[in-house]
Amino acid sequence: MDEKKYYLTKDGLEKLKKEYADLKNIKLAKTEGEVPKIWHSEDLNPEYLSFQEDLDFLNSRIAELEYILKNTEIIKVPSKDKKNTVGLGATVTLEEAGGRINEFTLVGSLEANPSLGKISNESPVGKFLLGHKLNDEVVITSPIQIIYRIKKIRYNLT
């Protein structure tokens, strides 16, 4: 089975590393204290059940973050001869047939946030844009058809 690659900017990687460290600290603090007893008289202790649910959630998220961090590839600025091609990390200015202008930055799926103009390389628009060059006409069909002309491509990764 192929492992999935997670494409992240440096900022995105730092945020995930911080979340990972924070969750490890929370887990440590939670397990260092007194653990509720499993039984409260003859019934299961609700405090223990809640403690166990919290611990299960922390362990699950920590394991997920470990997998992501192990399979991360940093998005880098391409070489000079490839800067006129849409790739991960590119901010692309598009003009629709009616003259309307849109601007998107292509990022990995973990950092995608369409309301901020960050779209995933796995999204319909992201998939269609990858590999195209300045002034290319791109037809995107999902679920309606939109025709874009690529007006500008720039890379300014942090």
pLDDT of residue 31: 86
| Predicted confidence (pLDDT) per residue in 101-151, tens digit | 999 999 999 999 999 999 999 998 999 999 999 999 999 887 888 899 999
Residue 1 has pLDDT above 60, yes or no: no
User: Is the pTM here over 0.85, yes or no?
Assistant: no
pLDDT band at 40 (very low <50, low <70, confident <90, very high): low
DSSP code per residue over 14-79: HHHHHHHHHHHHHHHHHHHSPPPPSEETTEE-HHHHHHHHHHHHHHHHHHHHHHHHHTEEE--PPP
Q: Domain containing 25: what range?
A: 6-74
Both 47 and 86 in one domain: the answer is no
| Predicted confidence (pLDDT) per residue in 94-112, tens digit | 999 888 999 999 999 999 9
Q: How many domains does the chain have?
A: 2
Both 88 and 138 in one domain: the answer is yes
Both 95 and 32 in one domain: the answer is no
pLDDT above 90: percentage of residues in the chain: 67
Note whether residue 1 is domain-resident.
Answer: no
Residue 82 has pLDDT above 80, yes or no: yes
